[in-house]
A and B are shown apart, each in its own frame.
Chain A
Amino acid sequence: MKKLTLAIAALALGTSAVAAQDVVRMGTEGAYPPFNFINDDNELEGFEIDLGNEMCERAGLECEWVINDWDTIIPNLVAGNYDTIIAGMSITEARAEVISFTQNYKEPDPSRYAALVGTDPSVIESGVITTQSNTVQAGYVAESGADLIEFPTPDETIAAVRAGEADAVLADGDFLRPIVEESTDLEFIGEPMHIGGGVGMGTRQSDDELRETFDAVITEMKEDGSLNELLVRWFGEDTPLF
């Protein structure tokens, strides 16, 4: 038994035997600018990275980031591979059955359709709409009359619209805005609409302590205006503030 423990200790190279405070592992997707993305220097960047680091500092926690696929981000949280999800995840009832959420740190942002310039808005009801899989938007389109094509990464949904594979993409306005503004071939169609609640941080349901810690920090950051500052920096002046 001793040997086994020893072997495991040896495996954990670079481990301090007893850390005073356990490291909180923060799971994110790293493919959803401006929420979270990997920049050209191969570092995580984005609104949620700034927010997460600030929250950990205020809570006195040592945090480290973990990148995980969107599709398996909930199962891997539940399996204990990391301790929180902070990945632009809308708070929904279906998700809340599996994991817990903190209060929202971002107001619900209207989802929008984007399509090639000149696309007839009627495709929203009867065309082919693409979304990232396992998102609130995917659930919405599945229940509308349009045909749904899902992709594992948000980036592929844009490529599908450009390639003509889908008539339009439905996604968070915050994600689409920079893409549409910088391109000459894409435009918004239809009206913005609210799907899902605000964006919050996910934790395991058995991990109330951690959730309450972050909840308190979010309240604090809402009150002193620092959260609003971050929101404006990453999403522009027009974003809804607290």
Chain B
Amino acid sequence: MFGFCDDPSALPQWQWFACYLTSGTHLAFYWSFGVVMLLLAVVAPLALAMGMLGALALRARLAPVNLIGKGYVNLVRGVPDIVFFLFVPIALGQGIEWVLHQINCPDWDQPIRQGNDFIVCREAKMPPVGASAWARNVYGFSMAVIAFALVFGAFVANTLYGAMRAVPKAQVETAEAYGMTPGQAFRRVVLPQMWVYALPGLSNIWQILIKSTPLLFLLGIQDAVYWARELGGAKTSLYKYPHPDWRVWYFLVLLVFYLFLTWGSERIFGRLTERLSRGQATAEGERQRRRKAAP
């Protein structure tokens, strides 16, 4: 990055560090924090959507829908996350290739599974043969997003389901007495009010989601933890910037990053709770009302 970096071994300390901290691998390390944030930004709304669908399925009176909802929520919550993160991308990846194989190569005569190998025709490869590294990264990242959304969606579903039931029943009955259909009562009374009950649970899930992002490494994505381990390890003079084991410093940076992220989101959740409690029949809503009434 700097002109004087050509021969780092001869540099004074501060310049050595300036070069070291701007090396190609370090830039990748800094970028990986962006990847983590991007994952969070994409997964959060998706998991919320999955959760909403799951919660609605749990509420559904139609037996098959209800069964699907129950099956999804209980299955995902009952299996260790890590197993799901390993299972989903492989199963989904091979599933997609299998389907494409059936569509594109109907006259293929060899078996797909040959001993240990999983072989589909050239047209069924996913990502396609010759895809750029960039396209492959996007594909891998999407797989990760799907796995995260599936797992966290199940937890969100249960939280939202509980929150929907926490809205006082009397209010729904009143709404229906005024002539609203069950659907209208749900949209106008339950949906706007449930969030205050869901927030503590959602904030829990969000914190756990933040702390799960190092699992990205399992899915072959070079996240911040991967780079911290890679960069922190002792380096011989085969490398441009030889140094002893510095992992403790790199992990310290990670620690600060994750703490900062969780602390920041905790504050945002605090604000949200305050905002959503306004006028609610909850302890916090009651407190706000009293504060306002006091002279």
Contacts and interface: CB of A to CB of B under 8 A. Distances in A.
Interface of A: 1, 4-5, 8-9, 11-16, 19, 22-23, 31, 33-34, 37-43, 64, 67-69, 78-80, 98-99, 153, 155-156, 158-159, 162, 178-179, 182, 204-206
Nearest to B116: A78
A159 B116 contact: no
Interface stretch (B121-129, B151-159, B165-173, B197-205): B121-129
Consensus secondary structure, chain A interface = loop
Given A41-B23, A204-B117, A182 B236 contact: yes
A80 B136 CA distance: 13
Contacts of B131: 12-15
Contact of B130 (A5, A12, A41, A162): A12
Interface of B: 20, 23-25, 27-28, 90, 93-94, 97, 100, 103-104, 114-120, 122, 125-135, 139, 220, 222, 229-230, 233-234, 236-242, 245, 247
A100 to B, nearest CB: 10
19 contacts: A8-B100, A8-B126, A8-B128, A9-B128, A11-B139, A12-B131, A13-B132, A14-B132, A15-B131, A22-B122, A33-B236, A34-B238, A39-B24, A40-B239, A41-B25, A156-B229, A156-B233, A179-B236, A205-B114
Contact of A80 (B117, B134, B135): B117
B111 to A, nearest CB: 10
Contacts of A19: 129-130
Contacts of B236: 33, 178-179, 182
A31 B125 contact: no
B122 A79 contact: no
B2 to A, nearest CB: 14
A50 B277 CA distance: 64
